[in-house]
């Protein structure tokens, strides 16, 4: 005896304890009548007799914690009076507890079934309720934590599909052995067992995430994911077959006869049928025929090229959306491309993906079609739409299908997916050039999303990494559109104008020639120096100087190769001109030294020049490579001579009288790690600020690693990177006490 039977026996035994209970003439409806009662189910009871006994029974059950929904017919000769049309369906399945109730209920059932107009109305109302309910529960939350009763493919869908049969199947076209009926009953048993256990655990009908692991162990599944895969498969199967039953009885006899008369012999025949009719009725016919057609022991094997042509049509951007859906929903896609079979029901428990992996792939193919037809769906990214050709859209069609094809496998699914592309499309005899374009995008399909949403797209290094992966501008256009497709297919609620704008800005940034200059520069430097130099070089040098200027200057410091005679430039000062013809002092010293930063800043100050910006860095194989943007009335030669004159051979501490009085608004430690601390100095621009900072840091024996000095308008924002020191707070407090206008910052 199962838990439902035990529960029903207990409830009926309690009713029997009420003296004279037969006088109430109770008739059980709903899950009680179907033998599917769970601990938290409502008790639907129709009472046909004594009002007093009815009150006593309801009171007795409620006192024991049962939720009773007691009803009395408005009209005892017609129980449908005052009942919503869709709820009339519940009157067809009953369990009378008395002979009088049994007779009355049978009469009412026959009365309903005999009223063909009422039967049609019930069918229409139930179909309407099903659509509205499925739409309501079509959410990310319901997919990850499905409602066993009300969700699409849940127990309500199954029961409605089975209950309408007496209303519409007067000729008994669908017997109990029909595959659709068998499938629904199997899914019903599976979902009902889970519901019963969930209620026993104290929960309701929502299969909440925190309990899924315990349920998987109780039902002896190998893993939590395998349990949820089976749940997803049963929901999907029940939704398909319950929908098919409604479609079957909506269709005319002529439509049904036409479909049932079809006898496809080949895979090409199946595609012809789907081109003409992609309805659920045709999908079920294809489901019933595809195993036989794809059975190589019975038929001539389908060539890989033929499979490729079938798959191409199934996913191509120009293919009708209804046809693509039909090929996936009928599961024929698993015969055309067996790689997708492991994705069926594979739920990604990340609170972001709204669909199982296979459904997500289908949705990606569909979203690509929608965006191809309507560029406005791209929002701020719509301008990229015009950059793509028909061949590009074909490439994206393959990417949509293969981008997640390796989900659930061990290893990087992007890399494995690219491998699958190369293997499959080669067998499909697709053009090798197209194969490589598809494989590249599949392998890197997450890169633009990472760059735009998780990294700083303003950072030149972000795009330096992008170029190193092999991207060019056209590939970025393709990936930008696919990134939008992937987001929309993952969770439509996650695609918004903000993300569209971020993607658009990222693509526009990639178009900036400075980024290509930086990549070209670092690639060149890696051939002449080690990779370490390229990684350490401040990317913003390209914002100020042309690639050729930086390349020529740095290459002058490289060591000569074997057999090569090259003059190695020693430590030096040099005046460079940036893109806007502004003056920069470049300082190069092979070896860094304590106080070096202060010495150069002091020399610049004493020359009469002011520092607008500075890039302070030490590069492997080059040494100190500092750049100061200067403002001076002197010529380049005069300025260089004055700075050189102000540089003593050894560090000389600054004279307090020579330092101008200065102030800062804020001095903060903005970042700290094992390798460096970053100090921020903010305030109004004043002559001698940087010299004061350098001098004070030297006096406190603070070693400067690098610096970013920036003056904008009248404001100064200097970032000084220093080696980690234990007493940093004490030093900061001394600096604040000396320089910060608002002394309240001293205590920070």
**pLDDT for 671-725, tens place per residue?**
888 888 999 999 888 888 888 898 899 888 888 887 777 776 678 888 888 999 9
Based on the fold, state whether residues 489 and 535 are members of the same structural domain.
no
Based on the fold, state whether residues 400 and 498 are members of the same structural domain.
yes
At which of 482, 511, 540 does a domain end?
511
Mean pLDDT score, 324-339 = 94
pLDDT for 658 equals: 63
pLDDT for 748 equals: 39
Based on the fold, state whether residues 187 and 110 are members of the same structural domain.
no
pLDDT 10s digits, 246-265: 999 999 989 999 998 999 99
Mean pLDDT score, 345-374 = 82
* Range of weakest confidence among 42-46, 187-191, 566-570, 612-616: 566-570
Full domain range(s) for residue 28: 3-114
Based on the fold, state whether residues 701 and 634 are members of the same structural domain.
yes
- Residue 131 placed within a domain: no
| Burial status of residue 570 (CB atoms within 10 A of its CB: 0-12, 13-18, 19 or more) | exposed
- In the chain, % of residues over pLDDT 70: 93
Spatial CA neighbour of 286 closest among 323, 312, 254, 245: 323
Average pLDDT, the chain: 87
Better-predicted residue by pLDDT, 491 or 216: 216
- Residue 132 placed within a domain: no
Is pLDDT at 364 greater than 90 in this prediction?
yes
Is pLDDT at 25 greater than 90 in this prediction?
yes
> What's the pTM value of the predicted model, to 2 decimals?
0.69
Is pLDDT at 223 greater than 90 in this prediction?
no
- Residue 133 placed within a domain: no
pLDDT for 470 equals: 85
pLDDT for 369 equals: 97
* Range of weakest confidence among 217-221, 413-417, 590-594: 590-594
**Helix axis angle, 390-402 relative to 432-443, nearest 10°?**
50
Is pLDDT at 650 greater than 60 in this prediction?
no
- Residue 224 placed within a domain: yes
Better-predicted residue by pLDDT, 743 or 327: 327
Tell me, what CATH number does 32's domain have? 3.30.460.10
Based on the fold, state whether residues 503 and 555 are members of the same structural domain.
no
Based on the fold, state whether residues 543 and 496 are members of the same structural domain.
no
Based on the fold, state whether residues 478 and 505 are members of the same structural domain.
yes
Is pLDDT at 655 greater than 50 in this prediction?
no
At which of 250, 281, 304 does a domain end?
250
Question: Hey, what long-range contacts does 608-613 have (CB within 8 A, 24 or more apart)?
Answer: 608/632, 608/633, 608/634, 608/642, 609/634, 609/639, 609/643, 610/687, 611/690, 611/709, 611/711, 612/582, 612/711, 613/709, 613/710, 613/711
Based on the fold, state whether residues 505 and 537 are members of the same structural domain.
no
Tell me, what CATH number does 176's domain have? 1.20.120.330
Enter the tokens of residue 177. Answer: 């052995």
Element (H, E) at 194: helix 179-200
Number of compact structural domains in the chain: 4
- Residue 339 placed within a domain: no
pLDDT for 747 equals: 40
Most confident range, picked from 191-195, 200-204, 515-519: 191-195
Based on the fold, state whether residues 72 and 32 are members of the same structural domain.
yes
- Residue 524 placed within a domain: no
Based on the fold, state whether residues 589 and 716 are members of the same structural domain.
yes
pLDDT for 668 equals: 92
Based on the fold, state whether residues 506 and 535 are members of the same structural domain.
no
* Range of weakest confidence among 337-351, 597-611, 626-640: 337-351
At which of 77, 97, 114 does a domain end?
114
pLDDT for 287 equals: 92
- Residue 720 placed within a domain: yes
Is pLDDT at 275 greater than 60 in this prediction?
yes
pLDDT 10s digits, 398-439: 999 999 999 988 899 999 999 999 999 999 999 999 999 999
Mean pLDDT score, 123-151 = 80
Distance of CA 611 to the CA centre of its chain: 47
- Residue 268 placed within a domain: no
pLDDT for 530 equals: 81
Based on the fold, state whether residues 495 and 557 are members of the same structural domain.
no
């Amino acid at each position: 005896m199962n838990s439902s039977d035990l529960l029903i026996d207990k409830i009926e035994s309690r009713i029997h304890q009420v003296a004279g209970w037969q006088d109430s003439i109770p008739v059980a409806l709903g899950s009680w009548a179907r033998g599917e009662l769970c601990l938290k189910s409502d008790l639907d009871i129709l009472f046909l007799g004594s009002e007093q006994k009815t009150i006593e029974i309801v009171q007795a059950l409620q006192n024991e914690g049962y939720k009773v929904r007691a009803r009395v017919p408005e009209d005892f000769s017609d129980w449908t009076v005052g009942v919503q049309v869709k709820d009339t369906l519940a009157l067809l399945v009953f369990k009378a507890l008395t002979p009088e109730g049994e007779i009355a209920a049978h009469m009412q059932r026959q009365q309903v079934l005999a009223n063909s107009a009422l039967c049609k109305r019930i069918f229409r109302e139930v179909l309407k309720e099903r659509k509205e309910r499925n739409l309501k529960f079509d959410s990310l939350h319901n997919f990850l934590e499905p409602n066993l009763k009300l969700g699409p493919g849940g127990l309500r869908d199954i029961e409605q599909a089975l209950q309408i049969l007496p209303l519409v199947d007067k000729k008994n076209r669908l017997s109990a052995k029909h595959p659709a009926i068998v499938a629904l009953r199997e899914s019903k048993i599976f979902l009902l067992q889970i519901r019963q256990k969930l209620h026993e655990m104290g929960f309701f009908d929502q299969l909440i995430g925190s309990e899924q692991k315990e349920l998987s162990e109780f039902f002896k599944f190998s893993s939590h994911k395998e349990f949820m895969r089976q749940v997803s498969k049963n929901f999907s199967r029940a939704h398909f077959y319950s929908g098919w039953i409604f479609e079957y009885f909506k269709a005319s006899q002529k439509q049904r006869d036409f479909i049932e008369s079809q006898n496809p012999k080949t895979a090409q025949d199946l595609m012809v049928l789907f081109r003409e009719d992609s309805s659920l009725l045709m999908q079920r016919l294809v489901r019933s025929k595809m195993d036989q057609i794809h059975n190589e022991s019975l038929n001539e094997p389908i060539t890989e090229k033929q499979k490729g042509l079938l798959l191409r049509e199934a996913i191509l951007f120009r293919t009708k959306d209804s046809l693509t859906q039909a090929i996936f929903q009928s599961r024929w896609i698993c015969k055309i491309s067996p790689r997708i079979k492991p994705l069926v029901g594979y739920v990604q428990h990340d609170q972001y993906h709204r669909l199982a992996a296979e459904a997500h792939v289908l949705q990606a193919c569909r979203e690509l079609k929608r965006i191809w037809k309507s560029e406005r769906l791209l929002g701020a990214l719509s301008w990229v739409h015009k950059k793509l050709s028909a061949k590009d859209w074909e490439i994206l069609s393959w990417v949509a299908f293969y981008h997640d094809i390796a989900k659930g496998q061990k290893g990087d699914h992007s890399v494995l997916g690219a491998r699958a592309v190369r293997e499959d499309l080669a067998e499909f005899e697709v053009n090798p050039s197209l194969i490589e374009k598809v494989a590249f995008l599949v392998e890197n399909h997450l890169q633009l999303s990472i760059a735009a949403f998780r990294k700083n797209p303003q950072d030149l290094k972000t795009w330096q990494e992008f170029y190193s992966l092999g991207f060019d501008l056209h590939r970025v256009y393709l990936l930008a559109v696919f990134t939008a497709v992937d987001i929309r297919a993952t969770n439509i609620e996650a695609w918004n104008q903000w993300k569209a704008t971020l993607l658009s800005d990222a693509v526009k940034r990639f178009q900036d020639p400075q980024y290509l200059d930086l990549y070209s520069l670092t690639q060149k430097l890696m051939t002449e120096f080690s990779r370490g130099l390229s990684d350490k070089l401040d990317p913003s040098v390209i914002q100020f100087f042309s690639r050729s200027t930086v390349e020529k200057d740095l290459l002058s410091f490289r060591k000569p190769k074997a057999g090569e005679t090259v003059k190695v430039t020693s430590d030096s000062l040099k005046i460079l001109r940036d893109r806007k013809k502004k003056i920069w002092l470049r300082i190069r010293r092979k070896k860094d030294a304590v106080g070096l930063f202060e010495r150069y800043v002091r020399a610049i100050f004493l020359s009469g020049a002011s520092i607008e910006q500075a890039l302070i860095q030490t590069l492997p194989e080059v040494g100190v490579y500092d750049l100061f943007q200067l403002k001076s009335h002197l010529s380049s030669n005069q300025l260089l001579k004055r700075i050189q004159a102000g540089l003593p051979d050894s560090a000389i501490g600054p004279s307090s009288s020579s330092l101008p009085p200065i102030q800062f608004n804020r001095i903060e430690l903005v970042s700290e790690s094992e390798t460096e601390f970053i100090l921020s100095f903010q305030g109004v621009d004043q002559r001698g600020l940087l010299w004061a900072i350098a001098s004070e840091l030297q006096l406190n024996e603070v070693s400067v690693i690098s610096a970013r000095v920036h003056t904008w308008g009248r404001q100064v924002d200097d970032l000084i990177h220093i080696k980690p020191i234990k007493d940093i707070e004490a030093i900061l407090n001394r600096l604040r006490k000396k320089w910060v206008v608002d002394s309240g910052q001293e205590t920070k």
